[in-house]
Amino acid sequence: MAVESERAGLVVTLFGPPRAERDGRPIEVDTRKAVALLAYLALSDGSHRRDRLAGLLWPEYDETHARAALRRTLSVLNKALGGSWLAIDRTTVGLERARLWLDVAEFRDLRERPALHGHERGDLCAGCVEALRRAAALQRDDFLAGFALRDSPEFDDWQSWQTETLRRELASVLDDLVRAHGAGGRLEEAIRVARRRLLLDPLSEPTHRELMRLFAWSGERGAALAQYRDCVSILDRELGVAPLAETAELYDAIRTDRLEPPVPPAPKETAWEGAARRAPPVPSVPLVGRDAELSAAVKAYDERARAGVLLVVEGEAGIGKTRLAQEFCAAVARRGAVVAWASGREGESHLAFGVVAELLRSCTTSERAQAALADVGPSRVAEAARLLPELARIHGQAPPEIEGPGAQARMLEGLSEVIRASVAGDAPGVVVVDDLQWADPSSVEAVGYLVRRLAGRPLCVVALWRSEEVAPNHPLAGLAADAARRGEALVLAPARLSRADVAALARSAAPGERDADVLADRLFTESEGSPLFLVEYLAALGAGERVGGLPGGLRALVESRVRAVDEGARQLLGAAAVLGRSFDYETLRETAGRDDDETVGSLETLVARGLVRQAARDGERDEVGFDFTHDKIRSFVYEDMGAPRRRLLHRRAAAALARPGRAAASERSLHALVARHLELAGDTAGAAARHRHAGQDAASVLAHAEALAHFEAALALEGGDAGDLHEAIGDVHTLQGDYGPALTSFETAAARADEKTLARLEHKLGNVHHRRGNWLAADSHYEAALEKAGADDVLRARVLADRSLTAHRRRDTPTAHAHARAALAVAEATGDDRALAQAHNVLGSIAAHLGDADAARRHLERSLELGESSGDRGAQVAALNNLGLVLRRTGDATQALELTERALTLSEQTGDRHHRAALHNNVADILHDLGRAEDAMTHLKQAVALFSDIGGDELEPEIWKLTQW
């Protein structure tokens, strides 16, 4: 199994009998339909309509029973999957791909590696051969071998089609492997694979011929001839035909020893030829996102190099400076330019003139250069011979003694003249010095001497350095600035690649890839537009790995950069990794437990090494902000720390963030951040408390999904025993219209509640049943709430008002009126404005139903006043909506529209989706009355969309009938 499968949380294997594992443990489900559903969702990307899945798996059922069977199967499967991976909504079902490993997907990824590398068939690199070998090993048996649904013919047809498709794909893999092994001289391996190919399709005549050749080339002439006889026999038995003439001719050639020996593979040409061959080879990955920079560099060469020009390419590590220079050199080499290339190396800055010596060696060893140096003054060549002694043979003059005040200038002039002459030709020569930030001071001085004397000389000097390691007062920065002022320099600073650039590269690297856009998104996310990271991920793909994590080459690079800083800086980097991708100075200092001097010094080191960078921050905030230059660096540092240190730093981070006076972007985000750190520090009680606060804050701004996540996190940390959390979760589900989960949460809370709390929960249970149109259940819960309410007259008034509304919806007007009057009496006695608003609202609705418009308006206007005075937006929405209904019935549609639109605006602030759906529907009705059909249809569509998402999967007509409340 691939390395990726070891990291996946869900592993699904469909070659052979279907099998699934979650977190390393087999998943057991008690129905074959659940297995079939998992297989179908795993192999089919995207979401699928419920009715389509129900028809696929239960064709003998009517639609209602098929959808019910699907719901039960989804419940079984979701439980087996631990509540993860299945993406289920009202109309569709899908399977999340995060941390999922599927053997069929892995097989296809590996099978397509040669196409990603652009190889010809049979001419594969070792990485691609290994990828194909792994692909062939994965398909150990047919798709879903031994599995069938006898009562689902459409599923069986799908399974059969997948089986045949995958068998053809395996045949293609085996064919490529046979050719690749044969071309590489691995005849035994080629024979083994070819035999497996024949087992897959004994009628494949080309495979019979391949085996005949392989046996013959291996010296097994008898086996080759026997293979021909096998081919004749099976073709006659199965098809009643003779072998093709090509097969017979091959047999005759083997029998008479006339078979041509295998052709050895042709030697590969190098990426560069001629003068450019000394530079690092141009990678096979296409250059993207650098057209402007490359065009500017070539233009500067064409227009200015005969008079001398400096090209500077600066930027962060991995931004693609070297690659841009390679492409530039390739372009000018085609114009006839001679190129010399040298590089600074980390850790070699103590080697005096080390980079210049390499540059001399690069440009003076060819016969053409030796001839050119014969025309250079002997004393100049002798000066250069100090660094490259073999140059002394050109004129037979040894280097003079270094003495006198002009000795250094004579040496630098000699070095410059030899370099210029060595690369001179019909076109201006090019001298490239890469990673100049690591060059020794003497080499930097020599390059500076050469650059300052460019004027009037046909030469292009290309200098590359990491911007984070060249401070403004560095000699290189001054060199570039001086040359630019003289008009002799072009400075290029490549940026990170855009998403479009990465997409273009993904398409060129994987032509015809069905999921090229998905691949591009993943590559952009993982690489963050860094060309270095991107190239490494593409190389990992070529070696059969999946996108994600750190490929081996990148991991080694990141590790070397992290290990290069001192212990203090590494510890500060660990604190930063705990805080996240971005962090501010004060929180970092407190988390690391360092003083200002230590923190500032270590931060400067980390910035200089390109591990972190200063980042822009919101102008309203004072703290100095920093980011990791790449999130993979943060991930590596975090994972590289031991668990005890991580816990310590998370505990310190929580304390730093929670310190009074330290405000995050909002209290909600502050509680969430602190909760995360406390949880990772092992303080479950503290984390649960913070999750509670974060959930309450999120609920207060109608961030329902966020609120649920925090409440459920708090519940998990507290061991599932907190009734108030279940109640809070139920409240959020009610506002969202998820009535099934709401009832479950309230019932769970009720099981843990005392008498006083139970009365409140019975009231809420009644309200949910009321919304679903289950009047008897609602009334039963209201009755229970009244029994438990005791002396709590405020609650009694509200329950009576809601019970009255339920009776009204049941068309039991006398009972509704009696409950409403009782509610009003109790509310007036308590002086609770909210209870009074509810009582007047229901009395107004009853009066409207009885045709007493004046009484209805009096009660509803009073309800609106009370709702406004108490700040109860829900009461205001109800009163405005019901007033609008009264006005519509009395013929004042314009005023009715104004009130209902006010209610709709207010409902956005309450977050109640069911009421919002009803209001859109009511607005649509009024607009239709006013003759505004197009506007009415707009609101009606919004109402339908909202109603469709309310109440769960069960068909509940009463949900759609809500007009007043």
pLDDT of residue 324: 92
Mean pLDDT, range 358-376, rounded to an integer: 87
Question: pLDDT for 846-890, tens place per residue?
Answer: 999 888 999 999 999 999 999 999 888 889 999 999 999 999 998
- Which string of b and e fits 176-197 if b means at least 16 CB within 10 Å? bbbbbbbbbeebebbbebbebb
Residues 12-22 have a mean pLDDT of 90
Q: Is the pLDDT of residue 280 over 80?
A: no
In whole angstroms, give the CA distance from residue 211 to residue 182. 10
Classify the C-alpha dihedral 544-550-554-560 as positive or negative.
negative
Query: Mean pLDDT across the chain, nearest whole number?
Result: 84
pLDDT of residue 273: 33
- Three-state SS for 701-729 is CCCHHHHHHHHHHHHHHCCCCCHHHHHHH
Q: CA–CA separation, 859 vs 372, rounded Å?
A: 106
What is the predicted pLDDT for the residue at 666?
Answer: 52
In this prediction, residue 279 carries a pLDDT of 46
Does residue 668 have a pLDDT over 60? no
Q: Which of 52-56, 618-622, 780-784 has the lowest mean pLDDT?
A: 618-622
Overall pTM > 0.75: no
SS (H, E, C) 300-324: HHHHHHHHCEEEEEEECCCCCHHHH
pLDDT tens digits, one per residue of 470-513: 878 889 989 999 999 998 999 999 999 888 888 887 776 655 44
Question: Which of 846, 756, 761, 860 lies closest to 804 in space, CA to CA?
Answer: 846
Token pair, residue 302, equals 């064409």
CA-closest candidate to residue 22, choices 13, 30, 32: 13
Lowest mean pLDDT among 318-332, 386-400, 567-581, 797-811: 386-400
* Residue range 747-784, pLDDT digits in tens: 888 888 888 899 999 999 999 999 988 899 999 999 99
Answer whether residue 841 shows pLDDT above 70: yes
Residue 71 has pLDDT above 70, yes or no: yes
Q: Hey, what are 111's tokens?
A: 């099978």
d(CA 772, CA 956): 7
In the chain, % helix, strand, coil (3-state, to 5) comes to 65, 5, 30
* Average pLDDT rounded to a whole number, residues 567-578: 93
Quote the pLDDT of residue 623.
Answer: 54
Q: How many helices (H) and strands (E) does the chain have?
A: 46, 15
Q: Please tell me the predicted confidence (pLDDT) of residue 412.
A: 92
Residue 699 Cα distances to 469, 912, 931, angstroms: 48, 12, 39
At residue 40 the predicted structure's pLDDT band, cuts being 50, 70 and 90, is very high
Relative orientation angle of helices 153-183 and 126-138, to the nearest 10 degrees: 150
Weakest-pLDDT range from 163-167, 445-449, 950-954: 950-954
pLDDT the model gives residue 388: 85
In the sheet that 429-434 helps form, which strands lie side by side, from edge to edge? 339-343, 429-434, 459-466, 309-315, 489-492
